[in-house]
Structure 1
Amino acid sequence: MPQDLRIPLPRPAADTPLGHVIRTRRSVRQFPDAPIMLAELAQLLWAAQGVTDGEGKRAAPSAAAQYPLRLYVAAGNVSELPQGLYVYEPQQHALAQVRSDDQRPALAEAAIGSQPWVREAAVVIAIAADVAAIEAHFAEQQPDGRRGARYAYMEAGAASENVHLQATALDLGMVLVGGFDDAAADAALHPGTNEETIALLCLGRK
C-alpha cells in the first residue's frame, strides 16, 4: 500500500456504554483511606476470571481453555472482608483465605522504586500463573517451547484490562503495576509453588 494513502475511518462510537468506559479509563495512583465493597470486589474478580457459561468458560480468553492464571487478593480495606491474603476460586465464585495478615506492605516493598499506591490501595489483585505447566502443554509449538508462556502473558493482559474496564464502570480507581522484584512478590503471595507473579492490580476508591 502506498505510504501516502490515507483512508478516513468512521467516528468511533465513544458514547455507547462500552465506548464510554473505554474512553474514560485512566490509571489512578492515589487512593483515599476508604473501603471498597465486597460486592465490588466480587464483580472485579468475576470480570477477570469468572465463569461465564455452563461449560466453564471464563471472562478472559485462554489458549486451549487451559486457564493457567490464579488470582490472589491482598485485602486491606474491603467491607465485610477481614484483612488477609485470599485466592479466588472461579468455579465456586468464592475466596479462600491463604493468610490472615495484610500483604500489601510486603508487595509495596517488592515494587521497584517508590510505588506507595501498592500499600495505599484498598485491595491488590495479583495475577499469577503456572507458566511451566502451560509451557509444557504447548511444548511442541515454536519458539523453543516458550509459546505457552506467551499465551499466559496474553491471558493476564486480557484479564487485567477486563478488571480495569470493570473498575471504571464501578467508578473505582485502578493502576496496573508490572515493576516489582519477582522473587519478593512470589514469596509474599505463593511461596513454595511453581507460580510466577505477572501483575499487581491496585484498586480503591478515587
Structure 2
Amino acid sequence: MQQPRYAVIVALLIFALGLLIGFWKWGIGTTDTPKEGTYTAPIRNVLETISLPVPRVTGLQSVEKALSIRRSRRDFADTPLSLGNLSQMLWAAQGISDTETGGRTAPSAHSVYPIELYVMASNVSGLAPGIYHYAPDVHKLELLKEGATTEMESFLEVTPQPHPANAPATIFMAGNFLKPQEFFDSTSAIQVTLQESGHIGQNLYLQAEALGLATVVMGGFDAMNAATFIGAEEDETILYLVPVGNRK
C-alpha cells in the first residue's frame, strides 16, 4: 500500500534533479543564484541605429495553417535574408502591438519584459554584418559590434544541430532574471522569464512559417561564452539561439 507514495516521492525527486541540472546548464545554477537585487537599465555602447521596415499585420497565411505546418527547419539557403523579413521576425518576437499601452506581441507577466533580443547578421540585405540589439519600442536595430562574426565554436556544443554561421542571421534571446523581481521572488522571476522565452520562440516559429523561412530554436550552447560573444549585459543569460534564413 505504500508503493504509490514512494513512487510519487521518487518522481518528485527526479523532477527536482532535472530542474537543478537545467539551471546549471543555463548558467543560472551556481551557489550565487538565483540572484537577488535591483534591476538597473543598461546603457549600451551603440555605434549606429538602423531603422527597420514597418512590420505587416496582415499576411497570406492563417494562424491555423501556420500551426499545422510548423516544423524545425535546419537547412538554410546560401542567399541573403531580406531586411524586411528580419524586421518581421523581430516584430513577431517582441514588437509593439499596442502603441497606447506599449503591449507587445508576446505576453509578459506584469509587462516586465525581461527578454532582450540580439541579432548576429552575416548576410542580410541592406544591413552591414555585425552584432545588433533590437529596440522594440522604436522598432530599430542598435549596432554594437561591426564586422562578420562567425567564430562561434567557443560556445556551441558538439551536437547534431545546425551551425548558426550557416544562417544569414541568428537571434540571441537573453533573459534578465533581476528585472521581474520588482513583482516576484528570485525563483519565480526565473520561472516567468523562462516562460516568456517560450512564448517568443513560438512566435518566431509561426512567423517563419508564414514567411516561408527556415528557423529552429537551439539550446546546445555555453550560455556564458555566448553572452560574452555578443556583448550581452552582465545580468543577462542567453536562453535560446534562433538562426533564421531562406529555405533550401
Question: TM class, shorter-chain normalised?
Answer: 0.7 to 0.9
Q: Secondary structure at the match of 2:245?
A: strand
> After the TM superposition, which residues 42-53 of structure 1 pair with which residues of structure 2 at under 5 Å, given as runs?
42-53=87-98
Task: Find the counterpart in structure 1 of residue 209 from structure 2.
Answer: 168
Is the CA contact (8 Å cut-off) linking 2:97 and 2:105 kept in structure 1?
A: yes
- 1:70 matched residue in structure 2: 116
When the two structures are superposed, what TM-score results if normalisation uses the length of structure 1?
0.85
Instruction: Provide the secondary structure at the position in 2 that maps to 1:198.
Output: strand
CA 1:120–1:109 in structure 2 vs 1: closer, same or farther (change >3 Å)?
farther
Aligned counterparts of 1:136 and 1:92: Cα–Cα separation in 2: 24
SS of the aligned residue for 1:98 comes to strand
Cα 1:112–1:193, aligned 2, differ >3 Å: closer, same or farther? same
1:39 is aligned to: 84
Counterparts in 2 of 1:104 and 1:136: CA distance versus 1, 3 Å: farther
Are residues 1:94 and 2:140 paired? yes
In structure 2, what is the equivalent of residue 12 of structure 1? none
- Residues 157 and 191 of structure 1, relative CA distance in 2, 3 Å threshold: closer
Greater CA drift, 90-99 or 126-135: 126-135
**Residue 155 of structure 2 corresponds to residue 110 of structure 1:** yes
The answer as to whether partners of 1:182 and 1:197 remain within 8 angstroms in 2 is: yes
1:119 is aligned to 2:160: no
CA distance in 2, matches of 1:160, 1:103: 23
Deviation at 1:104, TM superposition (A): 4.0
Q: CA deviation at 1:164?
A: 0.8
TM-score by length of 2: 0.71
Deviation, structure 1 residue 102:
2.8
Within the candidate set 21, 26, 39, 2:71 is matched to 26
What corresponds to 2:39 in structure 1?
none
How big is the alpha-carbon RMSD for the aligned residues of Structure 1 and Structure 2? 1.5
| Cα distance in 1 between the residues matched to 2:134 and 2:73 | 24
The change in CA–CA distance for 1:83 and 1:61 in structure 2 (over 3 A counts) is same
Cα displacement (A) at 1:135: 3.8
How far residue 129 of structure 1 moved from its aligned partner, in angstroms, is 1.4
- After superposition, what is the alpha-carbon deviation per residue over 1:4-60, rounded to whole angstroms, capped at 9, x for unaligned? xxxxxxxxxxxx821111111111111121111001000000000001112100000
1:17 corresponds to 2:53: no
Between the aligned partners of 1:175 and 1:191, the Cα distance in structure 2 is: 21
Give yes or no for the alignment of 1:190 onto 2:231. Answer: yes
| AA matched with 1:156 | S
The percentage of aligned residue pairs carrying the same residue is 34
What's 2:197 paired with? 156
Equivalent residue for 1:81, pick from 113, 120, 127: 127
Report SS of the residue matched to 2:189. helix
Counterpart Cα distance in 1 of 2:156 and 2:180? 26
SS of residue paired to 1:163? helix
Taking the aligned partners of 2:83 and 2:213, their CA distance within structure 1 comes to: 13
Contact 1:167–1:173 at 8 Å: present in 2 too? Answer: yes
Q: Which runs of 5+ in 1 are unaligned?
A: 1-15, 140-144
Question: How many Å separate the matches in 1 of 2:184 and 2:119?
Answer: 28
Does structure 2 conserve the Cα–Cα contact (< 8 Å) formed by 1:44 and 1:163?
Answer: yes
Give the superposition deviation at 1:134: 2.1
Q: Are the equivalent residues in 1 in contact too, given 2:110–2:183 (CA < 8 A)?
A: no
The residue type paired with residue 146 of structure 2 is S
Instruction: After the TM superposition, list the runs of 4 or more consecutive aligned residues in structure 1 that deviate by more than 6 angstroms.
Output: none
| Deviation sequence 1:158-192 (CA, Å, 0-9, x none) | 01110110011000000110111111101112355
